[in-house]
Chain A
Amino acid sequence: MIDVMTLTASPERSTTGPYAVEVVSAVKRFGDVTAVDGLSLSIRPGEVVALLGPNGAGKTSTVDMMLGLSRPDTGTVSVYGRRPRDAVELGLVSAVMQTGGLLKDYTVGETVRLTAALFGRGRGDVEKVIDRAGLGEVRGRLVGKCSGGQQQRLRFAMALLPDPELLILDEPTTGMDVGSRHAFWSAIRDDARAGRTVIFATHYLEEADAYADRVVFMRRGQVVADGTAAQVKALASGRTVRATLPGASREELAALPGADQVEVRGDTVLVQASDADAVARHLLTRTAAHDLEITSHNLEQAFLTLTSDDTGGDGTTTGDPR
Protein backbone atom coordinates (compact mmCIF):
# COMPACT_ATOMS: atom_id res chain seq x y z
CA MET A 1 0.00 0.00 0.00
CA ILE A 2 2.95 2.28 0.43
CA ASP A 3 5.13 3.75 -2.22
CA VAL A 4 8.57 4.46 -1.08
CA MET A 5 11.01 6.67 -2.81
CA THR A 6 14.21 4.88 -3.43
CA LEU A 7 17.34 6.92 -3.29
CA THR A 8 19.69 5.47 -5.79
CA ALA A 9 22.91 6.80 -4.49
CA SER A 10 24.96 3.99 -5.93
CA PRO A 11 28.53 4.76 -5.07
CA GLU A 12 30.76 4.81 -8.10
CA ARG A 13 31.79 1.34 -9.05
CA SER A 14 35.09 -0.08 -8.08
CA THR A 15 36.97 -1.28 -11.09
CA THR A 16 39.46 -3.47 -9.27
CA GLY A 17 38.64 -6.72 -7.54
CA PRO A 18 35.26 -8.19 -6.67
CA TYR A 19 32.65 -6.65 -4.45
CA ALA A 20 32.99 -7.38 -0.76
CA VAL A 21 29.40 -8.56 -0.93
CA GLU A 22 27.21 -9.02 -3.94
CA VAL A 23 23.60 -10.07 -3.50
CA VAL A 24 21.61 -10.62 -6.68
CA SER A 25 17.82 -11.06 -6.55
CA ALA A 26 17.98 -13.12 -3.39
CA VAL A 27 14.76 -14.65 -2.10
CA LYS A 28 14.50 -16.48 1.21
CA ARG A 29 11.26 -18.05 2.37
CA PHE A 30 10.38 -19.76 5.62
CA GLY A 31 7.17 -21.63 4.92
CA ASP A 32 4.60 -19.00 3.94
CA VAL A 33 6.76 -16.15 5.11
CA THR A 34 9.02 -14.39 2.63
CA ALA A 35 11.81 -12.99 4.76
CA VAL A 36 13.95 -11.71 1.89
CA ASP A 37 12.09 -10.76 -1.24
CA GLY A 38 14.25 -10.26 -4.31
CA LEU A 39 17.01 -8.34 -2.60
CA SER A 40 19.91 -7.00 -4.65
CA LEU A 41 22.81 -5.21 -3.01
CA SER A 42 26.45 -4.59 -3.84
CA ILE A 43 28.95 -3.49 -1.24
CA ARG A 44 32.47 -2.41 -2.13
CA PRO A 45 35.55 -3.16 -0.06
CA GLY A 46 36.11 -0.52 2.58
CA GLU A 47 32.52 0.65 2.90
CA VAL A 48 30.82 0.93 6.28
CA VAL A 49 27.21 0.06 5.61
CA ALA A 50 24.22 0.10 7.95
CA LEU A 51 21.36 -2.25 7.24
CA LEU A 52 18.54 -0.35 8.82
CA GLY A 53 15.03 -1.58 9.34
CA PRO A 54 12.47 -2.62 11.92
CA ASN A 55 12.33 -6.07 13.43
CA GLY A 56 11.17 -8.51 10.81
CA ALA A 57 12.51 -6.48 7.89
CA GLY A 58 14.73 -9.37 6.84
CA LYS A 59 18.02 -7.97 8.15
CA THR A 60 19.03 -11.09 10.04
CA SER A 61 17.99 -13.36 7.17
CA THR A 62 20.12 -11.27 4.82
CA VAL A 63 23.09 -11.40 7.19
CA ASP A 64 22.67 -15.18 7.56
CA MET A 65 22.94 -15.60 3.80
CA MET A 66 26.07 -13.46 3.67
CA LEU A 67 27.60 -15.72 6.29
CA GLY A 68 26.60 -18.98 4.63
CA LEU A 69 24.35 -19.88 7.57
CA SER A 70 21.51 -20.18 5.11
CA ARG A 71 21.18 -20.25 1.35
CA PRO A 72 18.83 -18.13 -0.74
CA ASP A 73 15.96 -20.07 -2.31
CA THR A 74 16.65 -18.23 -5.54
CA GLY A 75 19.26 -15.65 -6.46
CA THR A 76 22.89 -15.58 -5.42
CA VAL A 77 25.03 -14.21 -2.62
CA SER A 78 28.79 -13.94 -2.94
CA VAL A 79 31.47 -12.60 -0.62
CA TYR A 80 34.71 -11.44 -2.22
CA GLY A 81 33.63 -13.35 -5.29
CA ARG A 82 33.30 -16.64 -3.40
CA ARG A 83 30.58 -18.75 -1.90
CA PRO A 84 29.87 -17.36 1.60
CA ARG A 85 30.83 -20.62 3.32
CA ASP A 86 34.20 -20.62 1.51
CA ALA A 87 34.75 -17.01 2.53
CA VAL A 88 34.00 -17.96 6.16
CA GLU A 89 36.46 -20.86 6.07
CA LEU A 90 39.17 -18.61 4.70
CA GLY A 91 38.47 -16.05 7.40
CA LEU A 92 37.52 -13.41 4.83
CA VAL A 93 34.30 -12.68 6.67
CA SER A 94 33.36 -12.97 10.32
CA ALA A 95 30.51 -11.74 12.41
CA VAL A 96 29.33 -10.56 15.78
CA MET A 97 25.92 -12.10 16.23
CA GLN A 98 23.09 -10.63 18.23
CA THR A 99 22.72 -13.10 21.09
CA GLY A 100 23.83 -16.54 22.11
CA GLY A 101 26.76 -18.21 20.46
CA LEU A 102 28.73 -18.54 23.68
CA LEU A 103 29.17 -21.38 26.15
CA LYS A 104 28.70 -20.41 29.78
CA ASP A 105 31.19 -22.93 31.14
CA TYR A 106 34.16 -21.74 29.12
CA THR A 107 36.25 -18.87 30.39
CA VAL A 108 36.69 -15.79 28.22
CA GLY A 109 40.31 -16.75 27.52
CA GLU A 110 39.42 -20.34 26.62
CA THR A 111 36.72 -19.21 24.22
CA VAL A 112 39.19 -17.01 22.38
CA ARG A 113 41.86 -19.73 22.37
CA LEU A 114 39.41 -22.26 20.98
CA THR A 115 38.41 -19.89 18.19
CA ALA A 116 42.10 -19.23 17.46
CA ALA A 117 42.78 -22.97 17.29
CA LEU A 118 39.97 -23.40 14.77
CA PHE A 119 41.32 -20.62 12.56
CA GLY A 120 44.87 -21.93 12.88
CA ARG A 121 45.95 -18.74 14.64
CA GLY A 122 48.58 -18.66 17.35
CA ARG A 123 49.06 -17.30 20.83
CA GLY A 124 50.10 -13.89 19.53
CA ASP A 125 46.76 -13.37 17.81
CA VAL A 126 44.92 -14.44 20.97
CA GLU A 127 46.72 -11.78 22.99
CA LYS A 128 46.13 -9.19 20.31
CA VAL A 129 42.35 -9.61 20.10
CA ILE A 130 41.95 -9.89 23.89
CA ASP A 131 43.75 -6.58 24.13
CA ARG A 132 41.80 -4.96 21.28
CA ALA A 133 38.48 -6.01 22.76
CA GLY A 134 39.52 -4.88 26.24
CA LEU A 135 39.06 -8.33 27.79
CA GLY A 136 42.36 -8.54 29.66
CA GLU A 137 40.78 -8.16 33.08
CA VAL A 138 38.11 -10.79 32.59
CA ARG A 139 40.00 -13.42 30.60
CA GLY A 140 39.89 -15.90 33.48
CA ARG A 141 36.19 -15.35 34.12
CA LEU A 142 33.55 -17.87 33.10
CA VAL A 143 31.46 -16.57 30.22
CA GLY A 144 28.29 -17.23 32.21
CA LYS A 145 29.51 -14.76 34.84
CA CYS A 146 30.22 -11.98 32.34
CA SER A 147 27.94 -8.99 31.78
CA GLY A 148 26.12 -8.52 28.48
CA GLY A 149 28.65 -5.92 27.39
CA GLN A 150 31.58 -8.18 28.23
CA GLN A 151 29.99 -11.04 26.32
CA GLN A 152 29.53 -8.77 23.33
CA ARG A 153 33.17 -7.73 23.48
CA LEU A 154 34.07 -11.41 23.60
CA ARG A 155 32.07 -11.99 20.42
CA PHE A 156 33.89 -9.05 18.91
CA ALA A 157 37.27 -10.55 19.90
CA MET A 158 36.28 -13.87 18.31
CA ALA A 159 35.22 -12.08 15.14
CA LEU A 160 38.57 -10.27 14.94
CA LEU A 161 40.63 -13.47 15.22
CA PRO A 162 40.68 -14.42 11.55
CA ASP A 163 41.56 -10.79 10.76
CA PRO A 164 38.61 -10.64 8.36
CA GLU A 165 38.28 -8.39 5.32
CA LEU A 166 34.60 -8.04 6.10
CA LEU A 167 33.08 -7.76 9.54
CA ILE A 168 29.33 -8.22 9.90
CA LEU A 169 27.58 -7.05 13.04
CA ASP A 170 23.99 -8.06 13.74
CA GLU A 171 22.41 -5.62 16.20
CA PRO A 172 25.79 -5.39 17.93
CA THR A 173 24.99 -3.02 20.78
CA THR A 174 21.77 -4.61 22.04
CA GLY A 175 21.96 -4.74 25.81
CA MET A 176 24.97 -2.42 26.14
CA ASP A 177 25.04 0.68 28.29
CA VAL A 178 25.92 4.02 26.74
CA GLY A 179 29.58 3.82 27.73
CA SER A 180 30.14 0.35 26.30
CA ARG A 181 28.21 1.34 23.22
CA HIS A 182 30.50 4.25 22.59
CA ALA A 183 33.64 2.22 23.24
CA PHE A 184 32.37 -0.52 20.95
CA TRP A 185 31.76 1.87 18.08
CA SER A 186 35.12 3.57 18.53
CA ALA A 187 36.79 0.20 18.14
CA ILE A 188 34.76 -0.53 15.02
CA ARG A 189 35.58 2.90 13.57
CA ASP A 190 39.30 2.28 14.14
CA ASP A 191 38.93 -0.97 12.32
CA ALA A 192 37.13 0.58 9.39
CA ARG A 193 39.80 3.25 9.04
CA ALA A 194 42.33 0.48 8.52
CA GLY A 195 40.31 -0.63 5.50
CA ARG A 196 38.04 -3.30 6.87
CA THR A 197 34.61 -3.48 5.30
CA VAL A 198 31.87 -3.30 7.92
CA ILE A 199 28.19 -4.15 7.54
CA PHE A 200 25.98 -3.71 10.55
CA ALA A 201 22.32 -4.41 11.01
CA THR A 202 20.54 -2.12 13.39
CA HIS A 203 17.19 -0.61 14.18
CA TYR A 204 18.78 2.42 15.83
CA LEU A 205 18.64 5.31 13.39
CA GLU A 206 21.23 7.28 15.32
CA GLU A 207 23.76 4.45 15.10
CA ALA A 208 23.33 4.25 11.36
CA ASP A 209 23.61 8.02 11.12
CA ALA A 210 26.70 8.30 13.27
CA TYR A 211 28.76 5.37 12.05
CA ALA A 212 27.79 4.38 8.52
CA ASP A 213 29.00 5.79 5.20
CA ARG A 214 26.01 4.29 3.58
CA VAL A 215 22.58 3.40 4.86
CA VAL A 216 20.45 0.67 3.34
CA PHE A 217 16.85 0.77 4.47
CA MET A 218 15.09 -2.56 4.49
CA ARG A 219 11.44 -3.31 4.81
CA ARG A 220 9.62 -6.56 4.13
CA GLY A 221 12.70 -8.19 2.76
CA GLN A 222 13.42 -5.50 0.23
CA VAL A 223 15.67 -2.49 -0.05
CA VAL A 224 13.42 0.56 0.13
CA ALA A 225 16.11 3.21 0.26
CA ASP A 226 19.83 3.16 -0.23
CA GLY A 227 22.05 6.17 0.07
CA THR A 228 24.49 8.14 2.18
CA ALA A 229 23.51 9.11 5.69
CA ALA A 230 23.08 12.70 4.46
CA GLN A 231 20.65 11.65 1.75
CA VAL A 232 18.73 9.56 4.22
CA LYS A 233 18.47 12.57 6.49
CA ALA A 234 17.16 14.66 3.62
CA LEU A 235 14.55 12.03 2.94
CA ALA A 236 13.63 11.86 6.58
CA SER A 237 13.23 15.64 6.81
CA GLY A 238 10.06 15.56 4.66
CA ARG A 239 6.71 16.73 5.97
CA THR A 240 3.20 15.38 6.06
CA VAL A 241 0.29 17.08 4.31
CA ARG A 242 -3.09 16.24 5.73
CA ALA A 243 -6.38 17.26 4.16
CA THR A 244 -10.02 16.30 3.85
CA LEU A 245 -10.77 15.11 0.35
CA PRO A 246 -13.77 12.86 -0.26
CA GLY A 247 -13.23 10.33 -3.04
CA ALA A 248 -9.50 10.82 -3.18
CA SER A 249 -7.51 8.61 -5.53
CA ARG A 250 -4.44 7.24 -3.90
CA GLU A 251 -2.76 6.47 -7.20
CA GLU A 252 -3.28 9.99 -8.48
CA LEU A 253 -1.86 11.56 -5.35
CA ALA A 254 1.07 9.18 -5.28
CA ALA A 255 1.99 10.30 -8.78
CA LEU A 256 2.46 13.90 -7.65
CA PRO A 257 6.01 15.19 -7.73
CA GLY A 258 7.35 15.41 -4.20
CA ALA A 259 4.91 12.89 -2.73
CA ASP A 260 6.59 9.93 -1.08
CA GLN A 261 3.80 8.08 0.63
CA VAL A 262 0.07 8.39 0.40
CA GLU A 263 -2.47 7.07 2.81
CA VAL A 264 -6.22 7.43 2.44
CA ARG A 265 -8.36 6.98 5.56
CA GLY A 266 -11.98 7.58 4.68
CA ASP A 267 -12.22 11.23 3.65
CA THR A 268 -8.83 12.06 5.05
CA VAL A 269 -5.68 11.91 2.96
CA LEU A 270 -2.21 11.84 4.42
CA VAL A 271 0.65 12.56 2.07
CA GLN A 272 4.19 12.26 3.28
CA ALA A 273 6.15 14.55 1.02
CA SER A 274 9.67 15.70 0.41
CA ASP A 275 8.08 18.77 -1.25
CA ALA A 276 5.07 19.46 0.95
CA ASP A 277 4.44 22.88 -0.60
CA ALA A 278 3.97 21.43 -4.06
CA VAL A 279 1.60 18.80 -2.76
CA ALA A 280 -0.40 21.39 -0.80
CA ARG A 281 -0.56 23.69 -3.81
CA HIS A 282 -1.90 20.89 -5.97
CA LEU A 283 -4.47 19.84 -3.39
CA LEU A 284 -5.80 23.35 -2.88
CA THR A 285 -5.82 24.45 -6.50
CA ARG A 286 -6.67 21.30 -8.43
CA THR A 287 -8.87 19.35 -6.04
CA ALA A 288 -11.72 19.92 -3.62
CA ALA A 289 -9.44 19.37 -0.64
CA HIS A 290 -10.05 21.50 2.44
CA ASP A 291 -8.95 21.69 6.10
CA LEU A 292 -5.40 21.30 4.91
CA GLU A 293 -2.54 21.20 7.37
CA ILE A 294 1.16 20.61 7.02
CA THR A 295 3.15 19.03 9.81
CA SER A 296 6.84 18.38 9.97
CA HIS A 297 8.12 15.32 11.74
CA ASN A 298 11.39 14.39 13.28
CA LEU A 299 13.94 11.90 12.05
CA GLU A 300 12.68 9.12 14.23
CA GLN A 301 9.09 9.43 13.01
CA ALA A 302 10.19 9.57 9.40
CA PHE A 303 12.19 6.44 9.84
CA LEU A 304 9.30 4.70 11.48
CA THR A 305 6.98 5.68 8.66
CA LEU A 306 9.45 4.65 6.03
CA THR A 307 10.13 1.26 7.50
CA SER A 308 7.05 0.40 9.49
CA ASP A 309 5.22 -2.76 8.66
CA ASP A 310 1.78 -2.14 10.06
CA THR A 311 0.60 0.60 7.73
CA GLY A 312 0.09 -1.74 4.81
CA GLY A 313 -3.18 -3.40 3.95
CA ASP A 314 -2.06 -5.95 1.40
CA GLY A 315 -2.00 -8.79 3.89
CA THR A 316 1.59 -9.82 3.39
CA THR A 317 3.71 -10.17 6.41
CA THR A 318 7.39 -10.50 6.68
CA GLY A 319 9.08 -12.07 9.55
CA ASP A 320 12.48 -12.87 10.76
CA PRO A 321 11.93 -16.42 11.86
CA ARG A 322 14.77 -18.47 13.20
Chain B
Amino acid sequence: MSTTSTPATTGPAARTLPRLGGFTPAMIGLELRRMLRNRRTVVFTVVMPPVFFLIFGSGDDLRHQSAGGGNVAGYVLVSMAVYGAMLATTAGGAMVSIERAAGWSRQLRLTPLRPAAYIAIKIILAMIVGAVSVLATFAVGSVSGARLPTEAWIGCGLLAWLCALVFAAFGLFMGYLLPSENVMQILGPVLAVLSFAGGLFVPVDSLGHTFATIAQFTPVYGVGVIARYPLMHDGGLAVAVLNVLAWTALFAAGAVWRFRRDTARV
Protein backbone atom coordinates (compact mmCIF):
# COMPACT_ATOMS: atom_id res chain seq x y z
CA MET B 1 0.00 0.00 0.00
CA SER B 2 1.24 3.44 -0.73
CA THR B 3 1.53 5.87 2.08
CA THR B 4 0.64 9.04 0.24
CA SER B 5 -1.23 11.45 2.45
CA THR B 6 -4.98 11.40 2.31
CA PRO B 7 -6.89 14.46 1.31
CA ALA B 8 -9.77 15.43 3.55
CA THR B 9 -12.99 13.58 2.84
CA THR B 10 -15.75 15.03 0.71
CA GLY B 11 -17.68 16.11 3.79
CA PRO B 12 -21.13 14.98 4.89
CA ALA B 13 -22.95 17.98 3.44
CA ALA B 14 -21.55 18.01 -0.09
CA ARG B 15 -22.81 14.59 -1.10
CA THR B 16 -25.43 13.81 -3.69
CA LEU B 17 -27.17 10.63 -4.78
CA PRO B 18 -26.33 9.07 -8.14
CA ARG B 19 -29.13 9.29 -10.67
CA LEU B 20 -31.47 6.42 -11.62
CA GLY B 21 -30.69 4.41 -8.51
CA GLY B 22 -27.23 3.51 -9.80
CA PHE B 23 -28.41 2.33 -13.22
CA THR B 24 -25.50 3.07 -15.55
CA PRO B 25 -24.49 1.97 -19.06
CA ALA B 26 -20.99 1.43 -17.66
CA MET B 27 -22.29 -1.38 -15.47
CA ILE B 28 -24.09 -2.99 -18.41
CA GLY B 29 -20.86 -2.87 -20.43
CA LEU B 30 -18.78 -4.44 -17.68
CA GLU B 31 -21.40 -7.08 -16.94
CA LEU B 32 -21.63 -8.01 -20.60
CA ARG B 33 -17.89 -8.38 -20.81
CA ARG B 34 -17.95 -10.65 -17.78
CA MET B 35 -20.79 -12.77 -19.16
CA LEU B 36 -18.97 -13.29 -22.46
CA ARG B 37 -15.83 -14.24 -20.56
CA ASN B 38 -17.69 -17.27 -19.28
CA ARG B 39 -17.04 -19.93 -21.91
CA ARG B 40 -19.89 -22.11 -20.80
CA THR B 41 -22.38 -19.29 -21.29
CA VAL B 42 -21.01 -18.56 -24.74
CA VAL B 43 -21.15 -22.21 -25.76
CA PHE B 44 -24.67 -22.65 -24.42
CA THR B 45 -26.12 -19.53 -25.96
CA VAL B 46 -24.17 -18.68 -29.09
CA VAL B 47 -22.57 -21.92 -30.28
CA MET B 48 -25.01 -24.66 -29.35
CA PRO B 49 -28.20 -23.39 -31.06
CA PRO B 50 -26.54 -22.94 -34.50
CA VAL B 51 -24.82 -26.32 -34.12
CA PHE B 52 -28.15 -27.94 -33.25
CA PHE B 53 -29.56 -26.39 -36.39
CA LEU B 54 -26.73 -27.80 -38.49
CA ILE B 55 -27.31 -31.26 -37.02
CA PHE B 56 -31.10 -31.39 -37.01
CA GLY B 57 -32.24 -28.79 -39.51
CA SER B 58 -29.95 -28.59 -42.49
CA GLY B 59 -30.44 -32.00 -44.11
CA ASP B 60 -31.23 -32.15 -47.84
CA ASP B 61 -34.76 -33.48 -47.30
CA LEU B 62 -35.57 -30.59 -44.97
CA ARG B 63 -34.30 -28.07 -47.48
CA HIS B 64 -36.60 -29.38 -50.18
CA GLN B 65 -39.82 -29.66 -48.15
CA SER B 66 -41.69 -26.43 -47.91
CA ALA B 67 -43.15 -25.00 -44.73
CA GLY B 68 -45.23 -21.83 -44.84
CA GLY B 69 -43.48 -19.37 -47.11
CA GLY B 70 -40.10 -21.08 -46.65
CA ASN B 71 -38.65 -24.55 -46.18
CA VAL B 72 -38.67 -26.97 -43.24
CA ALA B 73 -35.04 -26.05 -42.55
CA GLY B 74 -36.27 -22.51 -41.98
CA TYR B 75 -38.96 -23.81 -39.62
CA VAL B 76 -36.34 -25.70 -37.61
CA LEU B 77 -34.08 -22.63 -37.64
CA VAL B 78 -36.77 -20.49 -36.01
CA SER B 79 -37.24 -23.14 -33.32
CA MET B 80 -33.52 -23.21 -32.67
CA ALA B 81 -33.42 -19.42 -32.46
CA VAL B 82 -36.21 -19.58 -29.85
CA TYR B 83 -34.24 -22.26 -27.99
CA GLY B 84 -31.07 -20.16 -28.06
CA ALA B 85 -32.85 -17.00 -26.94
CA MET B 86 -34.45 -18.98 -24.13
CA LEU B 87 -31.14 -20.38 -22.94
CA ALA B 88 -29.50 -16.97 -23.16
CA THR B 89 -32.16 -15.10 -21.24
CA THR B 90 -32.48 -17.84 -18.63
CA ALA B 91 -28.72 -17.79 -18.13
CA GLY B 92 -28.81 -14.01 -17.89
CA GLY B 93 -31.49 -14.04 -15.24
CA ALA B 94 -29.90 -16.93 -13.38
CA MET B 95 -26.68 -14.92 -12.93
CA VAL B 96 -28.21 -13.62 -9.72
CA SER B 97 -27.83 -17.08 -8.22
CA ILE B 98 -24.06 -17.05 -8.64
CA GLU B 99 -23.89 -13.47 -7.40
CA ARG B 100 -25.84 -14.30 -4.28
CA ALA B 101 -23.68 -17.35 -3.59
CA ALA B 102 -20.53 -15.22 -3.91
CA GLY B 103 -21.87 -12.53 -1.57
CA TRP B 104 -21.76 -10.06 -4.44
CA SER B 105 -25.42 -9.07 -3.99
CA ARG B 106 -24.56 -8.14 -0.43
CA GLN B 107 -21.58 -6.12 -1.59
CA LEU B 108 -23.82 -4.28 -4.06
CA ARG B 109 -26.04 -3.31 -1.16
CA LEU B 110 -23.12 -1.26 0.13
CA THR B 111 -23.41 0.88 -3.01
CA PRO B 112 -26.18 3.26 -4.13
CA LEU B 113 -27.45 0.62 -6.58
CA ARG B 114 -31.17 0.16 -5.99
CA PRO B 115 -32.62 -3.35 -6.25
CA ALA B 116 -34.94 -2.29 -9.08
CA ALA B 117 -31.99 -0.90 -11.06
CA TYR B 118 -30.10 -4.15 -10.50
CA ILE B 119 -33.00 -6.22 -11.82
CA ALA B 120 -33.42 -3.88 -14.80
CA ILE B 121 -29.73 -4.31 -15.64
CA LYS B 122 -30.02 -8.09 -15.40
CA ILE B 123 -33.03 -8.12 -17.74
CA ILE B 124 -31.29 -5.86 -20.26
CA LEU B 125 -28.21 -8.10 -20.16
CA ALA B 126 -30.33 -11.19 -20.65
CA MET B 127 -32.01 -9.57 -23.65
CA ILE B 128 -28.70 -8.47 -25.19
CA VAL B 129 -27.28 -11.98 -24.98
CA GLY B 130 -30.62 -13.31 -26.27
CA ALA B 131 -30.33 -11.03 -29.30
CA VAL B 132 -26.77 -12.20 -29.96
CA SER B 133 -27.96 -15.80 -29.78
CA VAL B 134 -30.81 -15.24 -32.27
CA LEU B 135 -28.54 -13.34 -34.65
CA ALA B 136 -25.83 -16.03 -34.51
CA THR B 137 -28.36 -18.80 -35.15
CA PHE B 138 -29.96 -16.93 -38.04
CA ALA B 139 -26.59 -16.06 -39.55
CA VAL B 140 -25.55 -19.71 -39.60
CA GLY B 141 -28.99 -20.77 -40.85
CA SER B 142 -29.01 -18.28 -43.71
CA VAL B 143 -25.90 -19.81 -45.23
CA SER B 144 -26.82 -23.43 -44.44
CA GLY B 145 -30.01 -24.00 -46.34
CA ALA B 146 -32.73 -22.30 -44.31
CA ARG B 147 -35.15 -20.38 -46.52
CA LEU B 148 -37.63 -17.85 -45.15
CA PRO B 149 -39.47 -14.91 -46.72
CA THR B 150 -37.82 -11.61 -45.81
CA GLU B 151 -40.66 -10.56 -43.51
CA ALA B 152 -40.35 -13.89 -41.69
CA TRP B 153 -36.60 -13.46 -41.14
CA ILE B 154 -37.35 -10.19 -39.43
CA GLY B 155 -40.66 -11.10 -37.77
CA CYS B 156 -39.63 -14.54 -36.49
CA GLY B 157 -36.31 -13.19 -35.23
CA LEU B 158 -37.87 -10.29 -33.37
CA LEU B 159 -40.63 -12.41 -31.86
CA ALA B 160 -38.26 -15.19 -30.78
CA TRP B 161 -36.20 -12.55 -29.07
CA LEU B 162 -39.03 -10.59 -27.46
CA CYS B 163 -40.90 -13.64 -26.21
CA ALA B 164 -37.71 -14.86 -24.56
CA LEU B 165 -38.42 -12.19 -21.98
CA VAL B 166 -40.58 -14.80 -20.26
CA PHE B 167 -37.41 -16.82 -19.69
CA ALA B 168 -35.51 -13.83 -18.36
CA ALA B 169 -38.19 -13.79 -15.66
CA PHE B 170 -37.85 -17.57 -15.31
CA GLY B 171 -34.07 -17.24 -14.92
CA LEU B 172 -34.44 -14.54 -12.27
CA PHE B 173 -36.99 -16.60 -10.37
CA MET B 174 -34.76 -19.67 -10.44
CA GLY B 175 -31.70 -17.56 -9.67
CA TYR B 176 -33.33 -16.36 -6.47
CA LEU B 177 -34.84 -19.75 -5.69
CA LEU B 178 -31.77 -21.93 -6.16
CA PRO B 179 -28.73 -20.85 -4.20
CA SER B 180 -26.40 -22.73 -6.47
CA GLU B 181 -23.16 -21.77 -8.15
CA ASN B 182 -23.97 -23.81 -11.22
CA VAL B 183 -27.65 -23.24 -11.55
CA MET B 184 -27.53 -23.57 -15.36
CA GLN B 185 -26.53 -27.21 -15.00
CA ILE B 186 -29.97 -27.72 -13.53
CA LEU B 187 -31.82 -25.29 -15.78
CA GLY B 188 -30.22 -26.50 -19.05
CA PRO B 189 -31.87 -29.94 -18.89
CA VAL B 190 -35.09 -28.38 -17.56
CA LEU B 191 -35.24 -26.12 -20.61
CA ALA B 192 -34.56 -29.06 -22.92
CA VAL B 193 -37.47 -31.00 -21.42
CA LEU B 194 -39.73 -27.97 -21.61
CA SER B 195 -38.71 -27.48 -25.22
CA PHE B 196 -39.78 -31.03 -26.07
CA ALA B 197 -42.99 -30.62 -24.13
CA GLY B 198 -43.72 -27.30 -25.81
CA GLY B 199 -43.23 -28.62 -29.34
CA LEU B 200 -40.02 -26.80 -30.09
CA PHE B 201 -38.03 -29.84 -31.16
CA VAL B 202 -40.90 -32.01 -32.42
CA PRO B 203 -44.27 -30.60 -33.59
CA VAL B 204 -46.83 -31.32 -30.87
CA ASP B 205 -49.40 -32.69 -33.37
CA SER B 206 -47.09 -35.57 -34.19
CA LEU B 207 -47.31 -36.84 -30.62
CA GLY B 208 -51.03 -37.44 -30.36
CA HIS B 209 -54.06 -35.43 -29.31
CA THR B 210 -53.64 -35.75 -25.54
CA PHE B 211 -50.06 -34.64 -25.64
CA ALA B 212 -50.88 -31.75 -27.95
CA THR B 213 -53.49 -30.52 -25.47
CA ILE B 214 -51.13 -30.72 -22.51
CA ALA B 215 -48.37 -29.03 -24.51
CA GLN B 216 -50.44 -25.87 -24.81
CA PHE B 217 -50.07 -25.30 -21.09
CA THR B 218 -46.28 -25.58 -20.97
CA PRO B 219 -44.18 -22.41 -21.01
CA VAL B 220 -42.24 -22.99 -24.24
CA TYR B 221 -45.33 -23.67 -26.35
CA GLY B 222 -46.54 -20.07 -26.63
CA VAL B 223 -43.16 -18.65 -27.49
CA GLY B 224 -42.68 -21.24 -30.26
CA VAL B 225 -46.07 -20.64 -31.87
CA ILE B 226 -45.68 -16.86 -31.77
CA ALA B 227 -42.14 -16.91 -33.12
CA ARG B 228 -43.13 -19.19 -36.03
CA TYR B 229 -46.27 -17.23 -36.87
CA PRO B 230 -44.69 -14.86 -39.46
CA LEU B 231 -43.59 -17.99 -41.33
CA MET B 232 -46.48 -20.40 -40.83
CA HIS B 233 -49.48 -18.13 -40.26
CA ASP B 234 -51.18 -20.96 -38.42
CA GLY B 235 -51.55 -22.31 -34.89
CA GLY B 236 -53.73 -20.82 -32.19
CA LEU B 237 -52.20 -17.39 -31.82
CA ALA B 238 -54.64 -16.34 -29.08
CA VAL B 239 -53.82 -19.41 -26.97
CA ALA B 240 -50.13 -18.80 -27.51
CA VAL B 241 -50.31 -15.15 -26.47
CA LEU B 242 -52.31 -16.11 -23.40
CA ASN B 243 -49.72 -18.79 -22.61
CA VAL B 244 -46.81 -16.34 -22.81
CA LEU B 245 -48.58 -13.69 -20.75
CA ALA B 246 -49.61 -16.16 -18.05
CA TRP B 247 -46.14 -17.68 -17.70
CA THR B 248 -44.45 -14.28 -17.73
CA ALA B 249 -46.76 -13.09 -14.97
CA LEU B 250 -46.18 -16.26 -12.98
CA PHE B 251 -42.37 -16.22 -13.27
CA ALA B 252 -42.19 -12.48 -12.62
CA ALA B 253 -44.39 -12.85 -9.54
CA GLY B 254 -42.16 -15.69 -8.35
CA ALA B 255 -39.03 -13.62 -8.93
CA VAL B 256 -40.49 -10.64 -7.04
CA TRP B 257 -41.56 -12.90 -4.19
CA ARG B 258 -38.12 -14.50 -3.79
CA PHE B 259 -36.39 -11.19 -4.34
CA ARG B 260 -38.37 -9.56 -1.52
CA ARG B 261 -37.48 -12.40 0.82
CA ASP B 262 -33.87 -12.15 -0.23
CA THR B 263 -33.50 -8.45 0.46
CA ALA B 264 -35.33 -8.76 3.76
CA ARG B 265 -33.12 -11.57 4.98
CA VAL B 266 -29.57 -10.69 4.00
Contacts and interface: CB of A to CB of B under 8 A. Distances in A.
Interface in B98-126: 98-99, 102-104, 106-113
Nearest to B18: A120
A128 to B, nearest CB: 9
State the majority secondary structure of interface residues on A. loop
Interface stretch (B2-10, B149-157, B164-172, B221-229): B2-10
B37 A105 contact: yes
Given A114-B27, A183-B1, A164 B9 contact: yes
A232 interface: no
A194 B5 contact: yes
Interface residues of A, number: 50
A145 interface: no
Contacts of A153: 1
Nearest to A71: B264
A99 interface: yes
A163 B9 contact: yes
Nearest to B263: A69
Given A89-B17, A105-B37, A118-B22, A69 B9 contact: no
A253 interface: no
Contact of B9 (A103, A104, A195): A195
Contacts of A99: 103
B113 to A, nearest CB: 5
A134 B2 contact: yes
Interface in B63-105: 98-99, 102-104
A187 interface: yes
Interface of A: 17, 67-70, 80, 88-92, 94-95, 97, 99-106, 110, 113-115, 117-120, 131-134, 153, 158-159, 163-165, 183-184, 186-187, 190-191, 193-196
Given A88-B111, A100-B106, A113-B30, 14 more contacts: A67-B110, A88-B110, A90-B112, A113-B26, A114-B26, A120-B18, A120-B19, A132-B2, A134-B2, A164-B9, A165-B11, A184-B1, A194-B9, A195-B9
17 contacts: A69-B106, A69-B109, A89-B112, A92-B15, A97-B103, A97-B110, A100-B106, A102-B103, A118-B18, A118-B22, A118-B27, A119-B111, A134-B1, A165-B9, A194-B5, A194-B6, A194-B9
